[in-house]
Each structure stands twice: as C-alpha cells, then as structure tokens.
Amino acid sequence: MDSVKTRLEEMDRQLEGEWEALRGDALRLAQLALSQQEGPLSLLSPSLRSSFVSARARQEDLERRLEQRTARLERLNRGQERLSLLTRQKAEEGRKLGELETLIGAVALE
C-alpha cells in the first residue's frame, strides 16, 4: 500500500509541476494576446490561436488527470483506514482469545 501511495504522491508532484508550467504558459499567452490586440480569440493570429487552443487542451487534460489522482488517493486512504480498522479488530480478537485460553487453562487446573 505504501509503495502505491508513494507512487501516487510522486505522480501528483509531477502533475502539480505540469499544472504550474501550464499556468505560466497561459499567463504568457494571455499577456501576448493583450499586447498584440484586443478582442475575441478569432481575432488572434493563427499561430497564437493554435497555441491558446493547445494550452487550453493541456489544461483540460491536466484537470482531468488531477481529478483522477485525487480519486485514487481518496480510494487509497479509504483502503488504509479499512486496513487499520481490520488490524485493530484482529489485535482485539487476539487479546480476547488469549484471555479465553487463560480462562480455559485456569478451569482445566481446577
């Protein structure tokens, strides 16, 4: 479980880095668009419009991947909580079994 969680955390860090790079790209594109001309996307040059559309697609992909990673981490956390609960239950059952064996031993000696 820990290796899966570690791998997901590494993937999240990578995704965050990509997200920050995308935000920087989007900011630069927006600043460039504003400095060149005012107006809707259709008024941008074809290369700038293509860059903007590509950045938007990357943003949507990163948002989708981030949602998937978050869902995986949530499932992993629920699994760890369940495993922890089962471990506590097993320890409690072991303790009760030990008490029962002690009682049986005491009764057998009488």
Quick one: pLDDT band at residue 1, thresholds 50, 70, 90? low
Tell me the domain boundaries of the chain.
2-109
**Measured between alpha carbons, how far is residue 71 from residues 24, 25, 61, 64, 68 in Å?**
26, 27, 15, 11, 5
pTM here is 0.48
Query: How does pLDDT run across 8-63, given as a tens digit for each residue?
Result: 788 888 888 888 888 888 777 777 766 665 556 666 677 777 877 788 788 888 88
Task: Give dist(CA 58, CA 88) in Å, integer.
Answer: 44
Query: How does pLDDT run across 61-99, given as a tens digit for each residue?
Result: 888 888 898 898 888 889 889 989 999 999 999 999 999
Helix (H) or strand (E) holding 90: helix 46-109
